[in-house]
Structure 1
Amino acid sequence: MSADRNYTLDLPMPIECDTNFNNSREIVKYLTQSIYISISIWLHFLILRIILVKKRKEFEKNTFFRIYLVDILASLTMNLIDVLYTRPLIFIPPICPILSPFFENPSILATIFYTLPNYMKAMKSLTQMFMSINRMWCVIWPLDYKIRWQKMIKPVIFLIVAGPIFITWNVMISRTCTFAMYGGFSFSYVKRVTGTWAKLSVLHLGLLLVSLVTTVICTAITVVGLVAMPNRLKNAEKTLCVATVCISMGFIATALTQSLFAFCSSCALSITLLMIQYFCYDFLNLGSPLVIIFMSSELKSQIFPTKVQELKSY
């Protein structure tokens, strides 16, 4: 979301907090969101603990989960910034008159906390794309899957981590500013490079569409491959398709809202549209670990052990 306003980049940009919102109702909105965001954080930490500590040997050679680790870090960063920074500033009205004056002038802190979530959104698009390619490869070329992906995994992870620079570069060099949102305030930016092609929303949309098209194609190929697989392998791999479809639904909704930000000038500062986009990413961040947990029998058995498994551990 960019602010195409006639501001001088170095002058103060004050906002007027909206006092028409009911404090109690807005705080309840924040608490409701913080509950499911906290559940998302908890699930991601559970998966991290299993993959990196409890079952590290089993997962460290699995290239799919190495890509998914990057996705977890992106989701956790977005969730933590949301629950501790972004959402309180929007939905806790008493904060607005206290903190908004600190962001009237150029602020490195505001730039960092505005850039980071957008950087992580781009990372999630890339992780989704490469996880889809990885799953397709596993089904279609199972014999050389492990060898090929062990060689490819480091360049793939480097691309996922470094690639978002090309999406967020204009935000990094631009001025971050505030605007009134509900009873609080949120952040936008005044573009230093003003061309339409350099808009954050346009660059995000392009990456989302590439990721979405790749995911759909890979899913279709995977489904065809599953039909021809032996039942034993089919049962082991079919949940991968379910995971892809579920996560792709979130990407479709996100791509639709992103397209409005990119090409609808009257929508560019729509608060409702911005909140819809927040909720789309909330869906992705909460839905992804749930799908992955129930997709992986190993993860599911570690997170939700049965009584038989608990007795065996004694």
Structure 2
Amino acid sequence: MDGNALLQRRQVAVYAVAVLLAVVVGLGRPTAAPTLERLIDPVLALLLYVTFLEVPFVRFRRAFRNRRFVAAALGLNFLVVPVVVWALTRLLPAEPALLVGVFMVLLTPCIDYVITFTGLAGGDAEQVTATTPALLLAQLLALPLYLWLFVGPAVATAVEPRPFVEAFLLIIALPLALAWLTEAWADRSRRGASWQAAMGWLPVPMLAATLFVVIASQLPRVQDSIGRIVSVVPVYVAFLLVMPPIARFVGVRLGLPVGERRALVFTSVTRNSLVVLPLALALPAVYQLVPAVVVTQTLVELAGMVALTRVVPRWVVPDGER
């Protein structure tokens, strides 16, 4: 077994170490949080660059034409998820900031590291990638509508689309374009092929770095509000438990192949917390608790994603399932 294969086999242990170090730094050196927070976007962009390099671009073209998967992803995220989230939030106290934070983060499907976690679980990562423009556009339109329906017009009008668009361009589109150029370079040059091979070592370390930067930078914010936001944790955990079997059921009913079923599970579970956070920070002072509520979802989700990369291929959507 070569070193890269061994790293892949030990990836969960690597992530566990990264999370532990992040907790130590986040609690022990809270003054480092602003510096680490500025690293989130570049680290995430590099993570997706090395992730995209692992997917031949000829498969992306086929994924764009898969209307059945795109329709399933949109239906789950914008018809089923809002019903589930509304039901789960009935368990929360009637505190507007808590509800706004939960709705903002759970109603927006992830468009970035969902790709990496899907690939780690043996899912169809390029299909998720091809679906991200549709997911982005739909959440730009749907989030204000759902906020208006669930919590009233005041919050809906405070949501700005620019952070969503910037995140897509800088964290998705730019790494994707660079990966395409790298693959073209590798096809024509030995040096390019060597570069691409070297990048093949980075997906696991880069995901570990992403976990570290996100948790270490955001943990102090959560710590300051832990007494008030602890009530949202059961809702986030319940969401992680409820959505995989629903997504599996939809995938089976549509006759999707195993890789696409796993992709459907991850796109229905993983939320857009890193993109929503700037929106939460821009809300009026009366909603100052919202960023902490969003960050709490990030922490719960990252732990859940590490577990789901093992659980989904073994039990939720195993190999050979019909």
Higher helix share: 2
Whether the TM-score (by the shorter chain) exceeds 0.5 is: no
TM-score by structure 1 length? 0.31
Higher strand share: 1
Higher relative contact order (CA 8 A, sep 6+): 2
Higher CA-based Rg: 1
